[in-house]
Amino acid sequence: MSFKFRWAYLLPLLPVLLGLGLLVIDTKPQQALRNSIFDQYQRWHPREYVPAPVRVIDIDEASLARLGQWPWPRTKIAEMLDKLGQAGVAVVGFDVLFPEADRTSPIAAVNLWALNGNMRSQLLALPDHDAVFAKSLQQTPAVLGFALEQGDASQAGDPPLQKGRFIYAGEDQSRWLSTYSQSIRSLPALEQVASGNGAVTFVPDADGVVRRVPLVLQVGNKPVGTLSGESLRVALGARNVILKGASGASGIEEVRIGKLVIPTNARGEMWVHYTPRVPERTVSAWKVMAGEIPQELLAGHIALIGSSAQGLMDLRFNPWGLFPGVEAHAQALEQALTGHFLVRPSWARGLETVTIMVLGLILGVLTLRIKAITAAGVWLLTSVSVLGASWWAYVSHGILLDAATPVMVLAATFIVSSLWHHFASEREQAWIKQAFSRYVSPNRVAHLVNNPDALALGGQRKTCSFIFTDLESFTSLMESRDPSEAVALLNMYLDKMIEIIFAHDGTLDRIVGDALAVVFSAPVTQEDHRAKAVRCALALDAFADEYSSKLIAQNIPFGKTRIGVHSGEVIVGNFGGSTMFDYRALGDPVNTSARLEGVNKHLGTRICISEAMIEDNMPIALRPVGNLMLMGKKKALQVYEPLVTERYERADLNQYMQAYEAMVNEDPQAKGLFEKLLAQWPEDPLVRLHLDRLNRGQSGDLIQMESK
């Protein structure tokens, strides 16, 4: 396809540049669409559960029913911690908070009941529950939890106590961390003795789905650990947590804890590849308290204490739906320990940028050049390929590539390019139609455009009107003058003649040299085709007479134009073969029209109209020429000559009709009447014709034509 404006090829740059801008901005709708695709990947292809040394100690509904409502006394928590320590767990992580003193402690009861005397002394002699819990924390490695929130930084208080050190490998990337201003800490006495202290806070996406678990967060300007990261650090006996920045100072790339290297996003968050809930991961808290859990299910494990009970409100959303928040930590720890990761590497955006640029521009240019259906197929194939590549990267390598933005850009590129292609095609079709109209009648072109099924071999019977014109003595003009000048004169003549034909809704059948063939009521049926043809013939005659007169006045011998007009039933349609069509009308009325044009030179007239054209309320005056027996015909045809007011008055027409009727009736006075008319109109060829016939002894109006 050719384009008049080559800059059209720059159009694909618009959606491509828009897509690149969206990659940088990363709008909320983009994130939502991208995340929904990633979620669907997880539902189609979840992580297969592989046993790992991670257990969830679930404070479930059964545990609440057996051990009492929450919160349990810290002595009971201490007892469970002791049992886990005795079972040989590597570390216990608490996905619960201990920000206040135990309300079931003896001192709390004394203050609540306002006891005095011996009873007060006996209760105060009992061990404090928080102290009991602190002692258990000293004996068993454990990580306490704290919560982070946004608020007034001036009232933030001290940040949570950190037991590990955070070290940046390379440039400080703290500005990328999710930052909070306040924290809800466990009791200082508990923090002091615990092996670790980690945030239980998630950073869910806008839709509330937990897709990532942070390994490090920030309070104010100080990095703090999380329950997952601290549990790993304590279990592995590590002191430091190393935060390695991505190349180009674009955030954190990985977190190193002991010998483990965990890939993260720029904010130090680990993508969670969820498995469906499996019973093997979880044990009920009441069974731990009852001593019903075999030691091998806990020894060397990271035990996370959390709750699936609905009343404790620790339920979150993952791609599968509702799930206990503690399970996100557990699944993240499983992935870290088994080396199974979902990653969105730092080079992912670069690859997506290249994909948008290359595929977008290629698709755009192809859409501008090829057929619409083919372009749609290319767009569909390209979009499916992008989605397929994203799916393959996820399944085979655990790499998360954004297919949503490239597919949106490809769609936008296809739409923009298709619209321009459609616009350009319409302009080209209009140009072709205009150009084609210079070879074929415009109404024929319009008919083919609106009725493409008309492009078929065959014809149909129709009653049509025909005009044939011919320019006399043009060959002599060509011989007497420069051919280029003669051709220029002819082209101006034909151009105006054709313009008149089209103005009267005529269909130009063909041009033969200086002759024209015109049909009315084909291809589009015209109820008034006879009147249109007559008016058109008169307009053609008026122009041709004026044009010839002007040239003769300039000593250019431009001949007069002869016109024949007839009507009748013909076969109209496409004739020829599969290679080329010739649209025309075939039948005797066509030949008769051509004969009528030719008899003008024998009659001395300029226009001959057959009686088949005569209708009521004809807009012009006509005078009969006679019954012409055309050469080769067996039946005479009544022919008329139209009259214009400049040539005849109504009274003159009446005189002609009297003379003509006298001739038809073989009245002896006919000769005298024509002699009188000739004296009045000595240049009237038709009057002279009839007078010559009468002088030769002929009578009546039958005129035998002996040549074409």
Q: What is the largest CA-CA distance in the chain?
A: 168
User: Which tokens in the block code for residue 21?
Assistant: 């801008």
The overall pTM is greater than 0.85: no
b/e 255-269 (16+ beta carbons within 10 angstroms → b): bbbeeeebbbbbbbb
Higher pLDDT, 76 or 706: 76
Q: How far is it, in rounded angstroms, from Cα 312 to Cα 69?
A: 10
Q: Which pLDDT belongs to residue 580?
A: 61
Tell me what pLDDT residue 455 has.
Answer: 46
Contact 397, 4 (CB under 8 A): no
Lowest mean pLDDT among 113-117, 192-196, 371-375, 447-451: 447-451
**Who has greater pLDDT, 288 or 310?**
288
Choose between 528 and 473: higher pLDDT: 528
Which residues, including other chains, have CB under 8 Å from residue 662's CB and lie 6 or more apart?
Answer: 669, 670, 673
Residue 647 has pLDDT above 80, yes or no: no
CA distance 249 to 542: 87
Q: What integer pLDDT is reported at residue 694 of this predicted model?
A: 92
Q: What is the pLDDT of residues 40-62, one digit of tens each?
A: 999 999 999 999 999 999 999 99
Helix (H, G, I), strand (E, B) or coil at 204: coil
Architecture of domain 440-615 in this structure: 2-Layer Sandwich (3.30)
Counting residues of the chain whose pLDDT is more than 90, the rounded percentage is 66
CB 144 within 8 A of CB 191: yes
Q: Kindly tell me if the per-residue pLDDT of 703 is higher than 70.
A: yes
Checking if the pLDDT of 635 tops 60, the result is: yes
DSSP-based three-state secondary structure for 392: helix
Taking residues 71-100, report their average pLDDT.
Answer: 96
Q: Which helix (H) or strand (E) holds 485?
A: helix 483-503
| Strand 179-180 versus strand 216-219 pairing type | parallel
> For every residue of 301-355, which 3-state class applies, written as one string?
CEEEEECCCHHHCCEEEECCEEEEHHHHHHHHHHHHHHCCCEECCCCHHHHHHHH
CB 54 within 8 A of CB 231: no
Q: What is the DSSP letter of 281?
A: G
Q: Which residues contact 316 (CB under 8 A, 6 or more apart)?
A: 202, 204, 208, 210, 322, 323, 324, 325, 328
Position with higher pLDDT, 537 vs 346: 537
CA 293, 299, 301, 303: dihedral to nearest 10 degrees? 40
CB proximity list for 389: less than 8 A, separation 6 or greater: 401, 403
Tokens of 646: 């400049």
Kindly write down the DSSP assignment for every residue of 63-109, as one continuous string. HHHHH-SSSPPHHHHHHHHHHHHHTT-SEEEE-S---S--TTSHHHH
The residue with greater pLDDT, 475 or 483, is 483
Residues 6+ apart with CB under 8 A from 182: 148, 149, 150, 151, 152, 153, 155, 156, 157, 219
| Domain coordinates in residue numbering, the chain | 6-28+360-436, 49-338, 440-615, 625-708
Average pLDDT, the chain: 88
Q: Under 8 Å CB-to-CB from 296, ≥6 apart: which residues?
A: none
pLDDT single digits (tens) 394-452:
999 999 999 999 999 999 999 998 998 888 777 766 665 564 455 455 665 565 556 55
What is the predicted pLDDT for the residue at 452? 54
Confidence of residue 574 (pLDDT cuts 50, 70, 90): confident
pLDDT digits (tens, 9 = 90+) for 93-112: 999 999 999 988 887 766 66
Q: Are 613 and 625 in contact (CB under 8 A)?
A: no
How large is the average pLDDT for residues 195-209? 94
